[in-house]
Structure 1
Amino acid sequence: MDIALWLLIIGWIFVLLWVPFIIYTNKKSHPKALFVLFFAEMWERFSYYGMRALLVLYMTKVLFIDLAQNVAESQAYGIYGSYTAMVYLFPVIGGLVADRLLGFKKTIIWGGILMALGHFTLALQGIENLEGNMPFFFAALSLIIVGNGFFKPNISSFLGTFYETDDPRKDGAFSIFYMGVNIGSFLATLTCGYVGQEINWHYGFGLAGIGMMLGLIMFYLASKTNMLQGKGGEPEEVTAGDRKLFGMKPTIAVYALSLLAIPVCAFMLDLSDFMAGALIVISLGIIAYLIFQAVTNKNKVEGQRILVVVVLFFFHAVFWALFEQAGGSLTIFADKNVDRLVGGTEIPASLFQSLNPFFIMVLAPVFSWLWITLNKAGKEPSTPMKFVLGLAQLALGFAVIVLGAKFFASGDGLVPIVFLALMYMLHTMGELSLSPIGLSMVTKLSPAKIVGFVMGAWFLSIALANKMAGLIGTLTTSEAVDDNTPAAVTLGIYSNTYFIWGVCVVGGAALLLLVLVPLLRKWMHGIH
């Protein structure tokens, strides 16, 4: 019996029952726009995570098959880090484009078109003469990077416009929205992961593109109705013709510059060390600009609220640098050092990435209910305290893997599957305590005129984190490791890396933030 195929079938059945239940139980509490954006983001994330589930495995097993194992893995982690970093770097620009030029709706649709083209380009690489063609591979990734920059920050910011600043439903709405993100991720890792590893890599990439097109069509159709309440259009200055870009209509200029950015991104993908330095410089520049905005703001309250975003930026980056091992070193760890045999079937390593979105689907409504219930009782933790909880649970998750490796691994270096599942559950609880809360926080604390830019800057912290994630992933490689190295040896390398970075560094960050919580609460000036 093919357990992996049954997991795929059961996963789809579960989602087809779960999504209608969530919509039915929340439709009276939230505007229809929440569910429109929920579905658009769900399919966009299906495309992104479907490709991510396969990317590192595809590079190590196909693109770099002729290289030594440690070299192949190092190169794959480097490209993966640069790719995911730029995926979260470009939202800074995308946020500004929506705020100043195109509005939310046009920016989101243009981003979706570019991303779909990128996924279909990856699928085309299956053609014989294109397999292994690195410029073509980088061009496909670049289309996704640029498209995501337009799509990702603006769909989150757009959701915030349907709620008042301190609406008690807001955190709950973002938790439901976040569940849509992870339903897409869950279906993608099961479907694209299975199809890609068990049938054909490029069919998996093609399915990701189909998912993106579904999300795009849903959003476009909804934008033609009153479900979005007429919001998300171009700024008044653009509609009136008063604002140009390089002397052209903003729409034409943005489209042209987007296409010019694609070869630049493709070139940057192969420059791992340069990307790391550039990200640090860009991050410091944008943080300096936000601090300048905060200290020069005539409204002291607005200024201090921006400073809260700046402080949490760094803790957010630490969280994601370790959490994003899921798409890199943890996938290779599952491939090498986890006992994946279930019922006589060896489950493909990529499918384990579905554990995180599965737990989010199950737990997101619980967290949404929990925050609202605690709020009514006057006991809801503040946003900074939720960040502390998120970091602490991430550290606990890595502690579970380290303990499993040290005390419960078999003689041949394989960790029981239950430890990986428990780690993903703890990481998911940490994510739900921090990530949707962070998105909600940005829309609450940012001045209305720059909310898109601040949201883009917030995603920049994930860009920085993803590049850090790639560098941390390379610490799990070694020149002494090749295809014949026993799993017991590689297990020690992974567990040592996860103990130092996952347990000690993340745990230390949680303690530091705990000390800062009272100051940050004061600077929030009543916004919880």
Structure 2
Amino acid sequence: MDFTLTLLIFGWIFVAAWVPIVIATNRKTHPMALFVLFGAEMWERFSFYGMRALLTLYMSKVLFQAMEGAESRALGVYGSYTAMVYLFPVLGGLVADRIFGFRKAILWGGILMMLGHFTLALEGTLFEGSLFLFFFSLALIIVGNGYFKPNISSFLGDFYEKDDPRKDGAFTIFYMGVNIGSFLATLTCGYVGERINWHYGFGLAGIGMACGLLLFWICSRTQVLGDKGLVPPSVKERGPVVAGLRAPALVYIGSLMALPIVALMLNISNIVSGLLVVTTIGIIGYLVYEAVQLRRKARVMIASGGRPGAYLPEGEGTDEDTASPKAEGDRLLVVTVLFFFHAIFWALFEQAGGSLTLFTDKNVQRMLGGTEVPASIFQSLNPLFIMLLAPVFSWIWLRLRKRNAEPSTPMKFVLGLAQLGLGFVIIVSGAKLFATNAQVPMIFVVLMYLFHTMGELSLSPVGLSMITKLSPAKIVGFVMGAWFLSISLGNKIAGVIGQLTAAENLPDEASAYDTLALYSQTYLVWGVLVVLGAALVLLVLVPRLRKWMHGIH
């Protein structure tokens, strides 16, 4: 019996039954637009994570196999790719707000991503080994994702009033679509790519994107989406901007011109590293500057007899205190501090698509039911655990809140880092104590992903909510972009850490025992010592950060 094929079939049957139940039980509560965006996002995530499941394995085993330093190069490209995936949404959101509107931005991004997946499939079937086409395909996905990712979730918010009590439930359903797509993608594209043909797997990812795009396009031509997400009226009224071209035409041209530049940056990862370092220094410097300016404004208020907004325990002080320039400046410092811990989390969490997949391929005992489970399939554990545990975590936070015992945001970050570190403790323990013939029992990988997912649920959902609460109103969009930058930076660091595990760091005749030792040592240093050390440092800072939050929980 092929266990992986059985799991794949069961997964599709489960989703085919579960999605109609979700829609049927919520259709009277929520607008139909929610389910349209749910479906579009589910298929888009199917395409994104389906390709991601295969990317590192394909680069190291096929594309770069004949080149020196194949694994190191593959992990470096993976880090640059994921870094830019989270960098470009900042620009895509601005374009939607000021020029395209949500609908056009989503459609344009989806078209670019679909073309990227299909050209990635063509690279192996008709133009085998074409590095130009490979990097150009990734560039299409990166630029397209920049338009699609930030705008489909923002578009959903348009269908609810700001204080609509249904909004949290709507985004929970939407987030479920993200993880259903990811779960199906890693099972399906991983199985097809590794068992049948790499490029059939990439092609399936493109078909998934096409399904999501078609669903959104058809529904956008009906009354389901109403009059929301259209091109802003000011853009329609505006005349030509440059050379007789209007703003939307310039965006299309600019997107296409950006593709070869992005492809080049992928191939020269040092450029991405330098760009991220310079950008990070500039943005963090600006946030600190804004915080200092706000605190200086508070001192001027003191001199003129106004209230400075003293440091107050949670729940104390007047609205004037908690909304003072001093309070705003302090809260901005909290965002700046958590920026770095957020980046550390993603630097190790994102080993999943890079070094951890190669580790699973080389040093995990994957025989089950008489067949070998493909290494990429293990990436489906994260979305599976999210679907199972997200309601549990939501219930836990609500119960703790009723008892006035819910952890503060900085404390939830500590819990997220601690659980991420414990996941690496499990995999290192399995490698050092329980490996047989340099093969780690797969239960250790399953438990590692369980703890990593619990860490994600403790930290990731509260991050975006925190930004909207702690940012000064005049720069909330900019601070949100900075938060995406921390994810981008973390993904790039993930590639650098992953390169430490590359086979090129070992002698030519290295055995499986050598690779196991290299992986376990790297994860011990970075996954255990660095992550748990960061959690301990943040734990010490929690009281100060809570004070700086001035009553915001």
The answer to whether TM tops 0.5 is: yes
Cα deviation, residue 110, structure 1: 1.2
* Matched-pair contact (CA < 8 Å) for 2:417–2:534: yes
* Matched-pair contact (CA < 8 Å) for 1:157–1:451: no
Residue matched to 1:509: 534
Is 1:180 the counterpart of 2:205? The answer is no
Residue matched to 2:113: 115
CA gap of 1:451–1:223, structure 2 versus 1, over 3 A, is farther
Residue matched to 1:85: 83
Cα deviation, residue 50, structure 1: 0.5
Matches within 5 A, 1:30-429: 32-67=32-67, 71-128=69-126, 130-161=127-158, 173-225=170-222, 227-228=224-225, 230-241=227-238, 244=241, 248-296=245-293, 300=325, 304-410=330-436, 412-429=437-454
| Alignment partners' CA distance in 2, 1:288 and 1:122 | 39
Bigger Cα displacement from structure 2, 212-221 vs 252-261: 212-221
Cα deviation, residue 161, structure 1: 4.8
Residue matched to 1:496: 521
| Alignment partners' CA distance in 1, 2:33 and 2:476 | 19
Deviation digits for residues 298-328 of structure 1 (CA, Å, limit 9, x no counterpart): 8735555444433322211111100110001
Identity of paired residues, percent?
68
Specify every segment of 5 or more residues in structure 1 that has no aligned partner in the other structure, as ranges: none
Residue matched to 1:459: 484
Q: Which amino acid aligns with 2:459?
A: L
Cα deviation, residue 157, structure 1: 3.3
CA gap of 1:39–1:93, structure 2 versus 1, over 3 A, is same
* Matched-pair contact (CA < 8 Å) for 2:84–2:488: yes
| Alignment partners' CA distance in 2, 1:514 and 1:169 | 34
SS, match of residue 510 in structure 2: coil
CA gap of 1:96–1:364, structure 2 versus 1, over 3 A, is same
SS, match of residue 361 in structure 1: helix
CA gap of 1:376–1:262, structure 2 versus 1, over 3 A, is same
Deviation digits for residues 272-307 of structure 1 (CA, Å, limit 9, x no counterpart): 222211111112223333444555568735555444
Cα deviation, residue 24, structure 1: 4.6
| Alignment partners' CA distance in 1, 2:333 and 2:162 | 18
CA gap of 1:374–1:422, structure 2 versus 1, over 3 A, is same
SS, match of residue 232 in structure 1: coil
Q: How high is the TM-score relative to the length of structure 1? A: 0.91
* Matched-pair contact (CA < 8 Å) for 1:153–1:452: no
Q: Which amino acid aligns with 2:84?
A: M
* Matched-pair contact (CA < 8 Å) for 2:121–2:199: yes
Residue matched to 2:20: 20
CA gap of 1:450–1:191, structure 2 versus 1, over 3 A, is farther
CA gap of 1:248–1:420, structure 2 versus 1, over 3 A, is same
SS, match of residue 440 in structure 2: coil
The structure whose RCO (Cα within 8 Å, separation 6+) is larger is 1
Deviation digits for residues 385-416 of structure 1 (CA, Å, limit 9, x no counterpart): 22221111111100100111111111x11110
Deviation digits for residues 84-108 of structure 1 (CA, Å, limit 9, x no counterpart): 1111111121122123222222222
SS, match of residue 124 in structure 2: coil
The equivalent position to 1:475 in structure 2, one of 500, 512, 517, is 500
Q: Which amino acid aligns with 1:146?
A: V
Cα deviation, residue 58, structure 1: 0.7
CA gap of 1:260–1:198, structure 2 versus 1, over 3 A, is same
Cα deviation, residue 228, structure 1: 4.6
CA gap of 1:151–1:415, structure 2 versus 1, over 3 A, is same
* Matched-pair contact (CA < 8 Å) for 1:107–1:150: yes
* Matched-pair contact (CA < 8 Å) for 1:169–1:372: no
Residue matched to 2:317: none
| Alignment partners' CA distance in 1, 2:551 and 2:233 | 32
Deviation digits for residues 333-377 of structure 1 (CA, Å, limit 9, x no counterpart): 001110001111011111111111111111122223333444444
Q: Which amino acid aligns with 1:477?
A: A
Q: Which amino acid aligns with 1:110?
A: W
* Matched-pair contact (CA < 8 Å) for 1:171–1:368: no
| Alignment partners' CA distance in 2, 1:507 and 1:380 | 22
Q: Which amino acid aligns with 1:140?
A: S
| Alignment partners' CA distance in 2, 1:246 and 1:448 | 36
| Alignment partners' CA distance in 2, 1:422 and 1:333 | 15
* Matched-pair contact (CA < 8 Å) for 2:46–2:182: yes
| Alignment partners' CA distance in 1, 2:163 and 2:290 | 22
CA gap of 1:131–1:404, structure 2 versus 1, over 3 A, is same
| Alignment partners' CA distance in 1, 2:245 and 2:500 | 48
Residue matched to 2:512: 487
Q: Which amino acid aligns with 1:194?
A: Y
| Alignment partners' CA distance in 2, 1:516 and 1:494 | 31
| Alignment partners' CA distance in 2, 1:446 and 1:107 | 26
**How many residue pairs end up in the alignment?**
524
| Alignment partners' CA distance in 1, 2:474 and 2:18 | 37
| Alignment partners' CA distance in 2, 1:339 and 1:283 | 40
| Alignment partners' CA distance in 1, 2:534 and 2:167 | 27
* Matched-pair contact (CA < 8 Å) for 1:112–1:147: yes
Q: Which amino acid aligns with 1:350?
A: S
CA gap of 1:512–1:374, structure 2 versus 1, over 3 A, is same
SS, match of residue 449 in structure 2: helix
| Alignment partners' CA distance in 2, 1:229 and 1:303 | 40
* Matched-pair contact (CA < 8 Å) for 1:40–1:216: yes
Q: Which amino acid aligns with 1:217?
A: L
- Tell me how large the CA RMSD over aligned residues is: 2.7
Residue matched to 2:316: none
CA gap of 1:29–1:501, structure 2 versus 1, over 3 A, is farther
SS, match of residue 126 in structure 1: helix
Cα deviation, residue 448, structure 1: 6.3
